[in-house]
């Protein structure tokens, strides 16, 4: 049975349009061009961070984050960047008695924003920077499993990427849901991995409560 649902952050809960738009601005590259290159890098199976290298070889993301913060233009997101199904889905899942968590590859700063947005709505908020382990490292999913008060096979991990979310969560023993949005899921939705690996494939987080009820019903 699924008793806990843990969500990825970027392109699962948060629409990163603003985030990458401001990165394009920071690089001095037209947004349309930056986003096109971002998609090309993903379609080529490369790490998305190579997008920055394409425009500025030697670009150091950590250093540039600090520079942005120092110049008063830090990476940020807020309530207005959440996908519109997030609040109603969390409320419905919680009303259905599920234990809820948020765990993603995020900075300490993003962790603070997540806590300000979701402390009253979920039972766990954990980030790679808090844990010193980033997806797809199995250690990240061990930390998730250790934070949830149920068995690992009773956790549903929800994310938008097969390589970072679905595959490693499955290898950790979790059930998985792939959400169809953002660059990765949109570009790779029809690949064999995206079709075959996840327990559920959804266009909206609002499909989860019904799918979980059905799954748990057939598990009884
Ligand atoms: Mg994501």
Distance of CA 131 from the midpoint of ligand 1 (Å) = 17
Rounded to 5°, the CA angle 99-106-35 comes to 115
Distance of CA 15 from the midpoint of ligand 1 (Å) = 10
| 58 and 118 within one domain | no
> What CATH number is attached to the domain comprising 114?
3.40.50.1000
Secondary element (H or E) of residue 157: strand 155-159
Query: pLDDT-derived band of residue 220, with 50, 70 and 90 as boundaries?
Result: low
Distance of CA 220 from the midpoint of ligand 1 (Å) = 31
User: For residue 82, is pLDDT > 80?
Assistant: yes
When mean pLDDT is compared across 35-39, 62-66, 89-93, the lowest value belongs to 62-66
pLDDT tens digits along 92-129: 999 999 999 999 999 999 999 999 999 999 999 999 99
Domain of residue 43, residue span? 17-70
pLDDT tens digits along 156-198: 999 999 999 999 999 999 999 999 999 999 999 999 999 999 9
pLDDT tens digits along 8-53: 999 999 999 999 999 999 999 999 999 999 999 999 999 999 999 9
DSSP assignment letter at 175: E
| 56 and 88 within one domain | no
| 9 and 60 within one domain | no
Alpha carbons 18 and 141: distance in angstroms, whole number: 28
Predicted model pTM: 0.97
Distance of CA 80 from the midpoint of ligand 1 (Å) = 17
Distance of CA 161 from the midpoint of ligand 1 (Å) = 6
H helix intervals, 56-181: 61-70, 86-95, 108-118, 128-131, 138-147, 167-171
């Amino acid at each position: 049975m699924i008793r806990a649902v843990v969500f990825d952050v970027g392109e699962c809960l948060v629409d990163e349009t603003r985030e990458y738009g401001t990165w394009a601005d920071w690089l001095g590259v037209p947004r349309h061009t930056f986003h096109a290159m971002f998609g090309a890098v993903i379609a080529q199976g490369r790490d998305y961070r190579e997008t920055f290298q394409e425009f500025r070889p030697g670009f150091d993301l950590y250093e540039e984050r600090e520079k942005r913060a120092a110049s008063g233009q830090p990476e940020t997101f807020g309530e207005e960047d959440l996908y519109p199904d997030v609040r109603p889905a969390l409320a419905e899942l919680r009303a259905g008695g599920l234990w809820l968590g948020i765990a993603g590859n995020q900075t300490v700063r993003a962790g603070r924003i997540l806590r300000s947005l979701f402390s009253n709505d979920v039972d766990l908020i954990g980030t790679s920077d808090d844990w010193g382990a980033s997806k797809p490292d199995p250690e990240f999913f061990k930390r998730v499993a250790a934070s949830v008060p149920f068995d690992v096979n009773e956790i549903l991990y929800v994310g938008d990427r097969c390589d970072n979310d679905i595959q490693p969560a499955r290898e950790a023993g979790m059930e998985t849901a792939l959400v169809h949005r953002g660059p990765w899921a949109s570009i790779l939705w029809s690949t064999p991995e995206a079709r075959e690996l996840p327990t559920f494939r959804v266009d909206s987080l609002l499909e989860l409560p019904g799918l979980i009820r059905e799954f748990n019903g057939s598990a009884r």
